[in-house]
Amino acid sequence: MKEFEIDVNHKTPREVNRAIKEAATEYDRVTVKNPNAMHYLAAGLTEPVELVINGSAGYFVGTMIHGAKIHITENAGWFPADNMTDGEVIVDGSAGDGVGQGIYGGTVVVRKDVGSRTGEIMKNGTIIVGGSSGFMSGLFMMGGRIVVLGDISEDAGESIIRGVIYVLGNIKSLGKNAKVKKVNEEDKKELKELLTKYEFDLEDEKYDDFKKIVPRSKRPFYGKKSEEG
C-alpha cells in the first residue's frame, strides 16, 4: 500500500484539498495530520482513496465526495458527507447538525451522538448513528436509510416522503407524515449485516427492539394518486 501524509498546520482548506486531490491520484492511503477542526476537508474528492483525518474535522467534511473512504478519528462539525454520491465517511467521535445532508449514495457512520436534522433531504445511501440523533432527523427524507442505535429526538421523520429510519432507543415524537412500524425478519437481517460490517456488536435479541419510521403517504403534499403518476 502506498501511503502519504499531509500536515495541515499553517495551510488553508484550499491548499489542503489541492494536496489531498494530488496525493489521491498516486497513493492508496493519505493521512491528514493536525486537522484542528478545519472546515471543508476533502471537499469534492472523487478518487477511490482511503483518507484518514487524524483528529477532528470542521464543517462540511467530505462534502460532494464520490468513492473516497474517509475516516475521522475524532469529531466532525456540521454537515459531514453533505451531498455525497458514493463512498464512506466514518467519524469515531460525535458530529454536529445535518449529518449526511442530501446524500445520493454511500455510507456515513458516526460512532457517538449527532446533532439535529440528520439525513435531511437525503435521497439514498445509509447513515448509522452509534449514539443519539437530535431534532427533525430525516427532515424531508426522500430515500435511503438512517439507523440510530440510541434515542431519536422530537419530530423524527418530519415530512418524510420515502426511505426508512430504524431506531433502537426511544422516539421522542414523530414529525408530520411519519409513522412507526415494527421491524420484520428481513429488516433485522439487513440491519445485522449492516451493523456487523461497521463493527457494532449487538446481541441477537436487540434486533427485535428496533422500531421503523416510514412515511404515512408517498404523496402527502402534492395529491393522493399514485406516486409516479
Partner 1 sequence: MCGIAGVVFKDKKLHPVGDALTKMLDALQHRGPDSAGFAIYGGLGLEENEYLLNIEVKEKPGLLEAVKSTVNTVTPIKSEEIIPSVENYIIYRCKIALKSFGALKPLIMEIDKIEDVMVLNGAHSFEMIKDVGLVKDIAARYDTSSKMGTHGIGHTRFSTESIVDRYHAHPFQSYIIPDITVVHNGQITNYWKIRDPLERKGHIFETNNDTECIVHYMADKLSEGYKLEEALEQSVKDMDGPFSYIVGTPNGVGIAKDQLGLRPGVMAENDDVFAIASEEVSLREVMDTHNVEQIAPGETRAYTI
Residues that bind partner 1 (CB under 8 A): 36-39, 56, 58-59, 74-75, 77-78, 93-94, 96-97, 113-117, 134-135, 153
Nearer to partner 1, 67 or 150 (CB): 150
Nearer to partner 1, 87 or 98 (CB): 98
The least CB distance from residue 114 to partner 1, in Å, is 7
C-beta neighbour count of 15 within 10 angstroms: 12
The least CB distance from residue 37 to partner 1, in Å, is 4
Q: At 108, phi and psi to the nearest 5?
A: -115, 130
Three cell numbers at 33? Answer: 495530520
Nearer to partner 1, 36 or 196 (CB): 36
The least CB distance from residue 7 to partner 1, in Å, is 17
The least CB distance from residue 98 to partner 1, in Å, is 10
C-alpha 20/C-alpha 41 separation (Å) is 9
In the chain, the amino acid numbered 145 is: R
Q: Is 92 left (phi over 0), alpha (psi -120 to 50) or beta?
A: alpha
Nearer to partner 1, 39 or 71 (CB): 39
Nearer to partner 1, 58 or 143 (CB): 58
The answer to whether 45 touches 39, Cβ cutoff 8 Å, is no
Taking CA atoms, 187 is separated from 56, 175, 181, 212, 213, in Å, by 33, 22, 11, 9, 12
The least CB distance from residue 115 to partner 1, in Å, is 4
The least CB distance from residue 102 to partner 1, in Å, is 17
Nearer to partner 1, 164 or 178 (CB): 178
The answer to whether 136 touches 119, Cβ cutoff 8 Å, is no
Q: Is 82 left (phi over 0), alpha (psi -120 to 50) or beta?
A: beta
